[in-house]
Structure 1
Amino acid sequence: MSNANAGVSWEEFLSEAHNDLADKQSKLVADFQLGEHERFDWDQENGTLVFSNDGKIAVIAKVQFVGSISTKSNTWLWSWANSYIYDNVKDQMHIVREFGESKGYEALFTDKWEADEIDGWEMTSVTSYLLEAKGAYRTTGETGFTYMVITDISWAN
């Protein structure tokens, strides 16, 4: 990554990261029909997100967990601060935290803070940008949302 964002405001950086992720998401939808598969399953141990149809695996993605939004506490929690997230699916997240520390972008290095769904997508956009990910995915649970970036993706045989 270059120093293209040296001296760039937080808002400008967020906008650039958001636009970058929007382009990547369009490509993922076109190339892998994300959002159209019947089912998804994540496997932290293997670091994968698997999409399937009629019980057959269609697409396999490698992922890094970014963080989660709790709709109960209205907070964001970075994956590195979540003891339930395996190390192998958050081992690149130090890049985001260190970047935030170097730029003084508090949202990128504060473990937990008041947030909503939009904040979750913003943090995911930034992570995708910094990790040069292929795109992102969000899952919904009873108490909120889990965000991850896709670092590699392919059709199953």
Structure 2
Amino acid sequence: MEDRSQHDHSDWEGVVLAARERARSRQALMIERHGLSGDVQYHWSMDDARITWSRGGKTFLTGRLTMIGSVSLSRRTWLWAWANPSLPSAVLGDIGQVRRYGEANGFPVLPWPGFDHDPGLVAEARVVAASVLDADGLWAESADDAQLHFAIHDLEPAAEGPRPTT
């Protein structure tokens, strides 16, 4: 882990508060605008950094994913995606901007490769990351021993495939 020097906590709290409000409003708008409630299925891939939503077997929305980071539930640690060499490059997107933003503004939690899992700190880190990345929304997935945290970008209606002939 990197230098754990003190930072201006009131500045951090202000950034978190603004990012939290931004994420809350964008998430609600994303769900409402694109009908992402009810009987909706999704498919995602880290290899091509894409997520698609469907209803009744028909894909209606696609988006790009940027992995923000992950929580190891057994080790109780957070690891930033930019510090995880096992991830496909496509899913990293511009996550390095988050580290650079932390360095430039003296917010040490952003450039630390990882830290002990604290749900509040993870929530703060992911909303600030979403704000820095100008994400449309946030999304999390649990898999085995991990919680995976993503930013969603570039939402667009799915292209219609060929219509069946009768």
Could you say whether these structures have the same fold, taking a TM-score greater than 0.5 normalized by the shorter chain as the test?
A: yes
1:126-145 superposed Cα distances (whole Å, 9 cap, x missing partner):
11111111111111222131
Aligned to 1:131: 133
Partners of 1:155 and 1:59 lie apart in 2 by: 4
1:51-80 superposed Cα distances (whole Å, 9 cap, x missing partner):
223332222111111011121111111111
User: Structure 1, unaligned stretches of length 5 or more?
Assistant: 1-6
Give percent identity, aligned residues only. 23
The correspondence for 1:145, drawn from 144, 147, 153, is 147
1:11-61 superposed Cα distances (whole Å, 9 cap, x missing partner):
111111111100100101101233535422212232201122333222211
Q: How many residues are aligned here?
A: 151
User: Structure 2, unaligned stretches of length 5 or more?
Assistant: 1-8, 161-166
Read off the aligned partner of 1:73 and give its amino acid letter.
R
Structure 1 or 2, whichever has the larger Rg, is: 2
SS in 2 for 1:26: helix
SS in 2 for 1:108: coil
Aligned to 1:92: 94
Cα pair distance change 1:33/1:140, threshold 3 Å? farther
Partners of 1:52 and 1:117 lie apart in 2 by: 31
Do structure 1's residue 57 and structure 2's residue 62 form an aligned pair?
no
Partners of 1:137 and 1:97 lie apart in 2 by: 20
Aligned structure 1 segments of 4 or more residues deviating by more than 4 angstroms: none
Are the counterparts in 2 of residues 68 and 77 from structure 1 also a CA contact under 8 Å? Answer: yes
SS in 1 for 2:150: strand
Q: CA RMSD in A?
A: 1.9
Do structure 1's residue 75 and structure 2's residue 53 form an aligned pair?
no
SS in 1 for 2:109: helix
Partners of 1:107 and 1:143 lie apart in 2 by: 23
Do structure 1's residue 18 and structure 2's residue 20 form an aligned pair?
yes
